[in-house]
Structure 1
């Protein structure tokens, strides 16, 4: 089984969390809801990769955000894809003035109450990842 390390960033503002709907152009979990996420590149730390994904996917920069928590990695097995994902979760607080601008990886976004995450059709174990950064 192939193992891949990824980061997942939960961006919070006014008690709500940003969820993004993955487009049909991404490699996995198309049309599923997720946080800001991406593969952990070889020469990056998880935190550096998190900031890179935030910049690329939603046009947020370190000045827009405060890191609230880095959670323990979560192992997610997807038998169908033959993948073991090691998810490095992060929680960031967003400066009220920042605007979300999505790239091609997402078709829409929503601000939701954290407990509502599990009511969405998400990437595997997204709510479990959230619980690691509460």
Structure 2
């Protein structure tokens, strides 16, 4: 099984968690609800990547989010695609409810 590392960040606003519906234009999990996610390149810092994905996918700057917790990586097997996803999870809080979704998502909910 091929191993792929990804970051997944959940954003909290006044006790509510942001989830996003993935568009049909993305390479995996089309139409599914998820946190802010992205591939982690070899040697790349997972926190830096998580912050970059937040900037790109929902338009929040580094100053608009605060790291609450960084979880231990989780192994999530996808037998159909023969991929072992290594998910690096993060929880951030924000004081800004408004986001700017990019092309990777079609809707969101808090």
How many residues of Structure 1 are paired with residues of Structure 2 in the alignment?
Answer: 110
Unaligned residue ranges in structure 2 (runs of 5+):
none
Q: Which TM-score applies when normalising by structure 2?
A: 0.97
Bigger helix fraction = 1
Q: Secondary structure at the match of 1:51?
A: helix
Structure 2 equivalent of residue 93 of structure 1: 93
Higher RCO structure (Cα 8 Å, ≥6 apart): 2
Counterpart CA distance in 2 for 1:38 and 1:8 is 7
Bigger strand fraction = 2
Structure 1 equivalent of residue 71 of structure 2: 71
Unaligned residue ranges in structure 1 (runs of 5+):
112-134
Q: Which TM-score applies when normalising by structure 1?
A: 0.80
Q: Secondary structure at the match of 1:109?
A: strand
Stretches of 4+ moved more than 2 A in 1? none
Structure 2 equivalent of residue 40 of structure 1: 40
CA-based RMSD: 0.9
